[in-house]
């Protein structure tokens, strides 16, 4: 099969434990937690026992070591994580508003993540890979664009596949070139994993069905819609399947989408049916939101089987 790989930001996250207050009042803050959407995604792939690697950069500091050690311990290939001598590991602060939305304060652009390079180790990982997953958040880092383009060409040439999670964060820059990179990627995408309005970011349209129709016609074979507490749905040219969410007490929503996407993709690559993959992915997302910290609730198949057996669905 070849490893699943991704490219992008590795960060630490510091989170507010009080809801609805500004950052200055949101005491106590907790963390640092290993984070960054691509890192959470690849940690979840590795936890499922599949080959997984990430092209990234961290600083020569404790925050970087925290992330690399976690990813390595969980089974990910960390050979293409460079250690920057000049820039620190990035950080993100998150707080939750009363209406359930989140605000992030990112420090990525001037961190090691802004300096990701196509190193020999990155090339070596790419040439072994069978699947590339791209997070929209990573596209806000210009240094990532040439790496994704190189990886895409190399992996597709060898019959590999591409998945994209639009994963837009309003706080991260989405300039014109980011939009162009996103549009180019969509043309080569096999699996798209939008949540909420991200479908319309991928394809402006007046209705969900119009957007889905256009995206499928453009060559995407599977669109998997993440719907939070409403579960998820797969739409293909031949029909759609919906699967209900699990009922859990959410303590921290961040990372659910990354765990969901990693689990759906990995199940499909391992040959599971779409229904099974949606159920496992719903379980991975739901289980993750019961842990504080975005990477603290990534799951093994054994943990997912136990969770599914013990948890009611909506």
Q: Which residues bind ligand ATP (CB under 6 A)?
A: 195, 226-229, 231-232, 245-246, 248, 250, 253-258, 260, 282, 285-286, 289
CB-nearer residue toward ligand ATP: 160 or 257: 257
Cis amide bond preceding 275, omega within 30: no
CB-nearer residue toward ligand ATP: 34 or 253: 253
Give the nearest distance from C-beta 285 to ligand ATP in angstroms. Answer: 2
CB-nearer residue toward ligand ATP: 26 or 234: 234
CB-nearer residue toward ligand ATP: 80 or 222: 222
Give the nearest distance from C-beta 200 to ligand ATP in angstroms. Answer: 14
Give the nearest distance from C-beta 161 to ligand ATP in angstroms. Answer: 20
Give the nearest distance from C-beta 169 to ligand ATP in angstroms. Answer: 8
- The single residue listed with the structure tokens 């990910």 is 76
- Tell me the three-class secondary structure of 3-45, residue by residue: CEEEECCCEEEEEECCCCCCCCCCCCEEEEEEECHHHHHHHHH
Query: In terms of C-beta density within 10 A (0-12 exposed, 13-18 middle, 19 or more buried), how is residue 150 classed?
Result: middle
Tokens of 239: 């029909």
Whole-angstrom distance, CA of residue 58 vs CA of residue 241: 40
CB-nearer residue toward ligand ATP: 62 or 250: 250
Q: Cβ(278)–Cβ(239) under 8 Å?
A: no
Give the nearest distance from C-beta 244 to ligand ATP in angstroms. Answer: 9
Helices (H), the chain: 37-47, 62-73, 120-128, 145-157, 176-187, 198-202, 208-217, 256-269, 274-288, 301-310
CB-nearer residue toward ligand ATP: 132 or 135: 135
Give the nearest distance from C-beta 186 to ligand ATP in angstroms. Answer: 17
């Amino acid at each position: 099969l070849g490893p699943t790989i991704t490219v992008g930001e590795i960060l630490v996250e510091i989170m507010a434990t009080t809801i609805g207050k500004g950052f200055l009042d949101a005491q106590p803050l907790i963390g640092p937690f290993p984070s960054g959407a691509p890192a959470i995604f690849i940690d979840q792939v590795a936890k499922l026992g599949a080959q997984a690697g990430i092209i990234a950069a961290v600083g020569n500091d404790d925050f970087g070591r925290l992330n690399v050690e976690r990813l390595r311990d969980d089974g990910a290939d960390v050979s293409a994580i460079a250690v920057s001598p000049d820039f620190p590991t990035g950080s993100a602060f998150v707080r939750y508003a009363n209406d359930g939305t989140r605000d992030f304060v990112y420090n990525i652009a001037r961190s090691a993540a802004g300096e990701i390079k196509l190193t020999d180790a990155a090339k070596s990982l790419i040439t072994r890979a069978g699947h590339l997953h791209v997070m929209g958040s990573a596209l806000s880092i210009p240094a990532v664009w040439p790496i994704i383009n190189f990886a895409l060409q190399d992996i597709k040439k060898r019959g590999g596949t591409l998945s994209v999670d639009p994963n837009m964060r309003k706080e991260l820059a989405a300039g014109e070139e980011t939009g162009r990179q996103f549009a180019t990627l969509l043309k080569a995408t096999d699996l798209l994993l939008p949540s909420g309005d991200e479908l319309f970011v991928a394809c402006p349209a007046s209705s969900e069905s119009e957007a889905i129709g256009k995206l499928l016609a453009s060559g995407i074979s599977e669109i998997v819609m993440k719907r939070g507490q409403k579960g998820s749905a797969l739409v293909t040219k031949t029909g759609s399947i919906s699967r209900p969410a699990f009922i859990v007490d959410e303590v921290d929503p961040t990372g659910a989408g990354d765990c969901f996407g990693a689990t759906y993709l990995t199940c499909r690559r391992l040959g599971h049916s779409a229904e099974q993959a949606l159920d496992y992915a719903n379980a991975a997302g739901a289980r993750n939101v019961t842990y504080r910290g975005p990477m603290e609730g990534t799951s093994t198949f054994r943990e997912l089987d136990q969770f599914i057996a013990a948890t009611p669905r909506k």
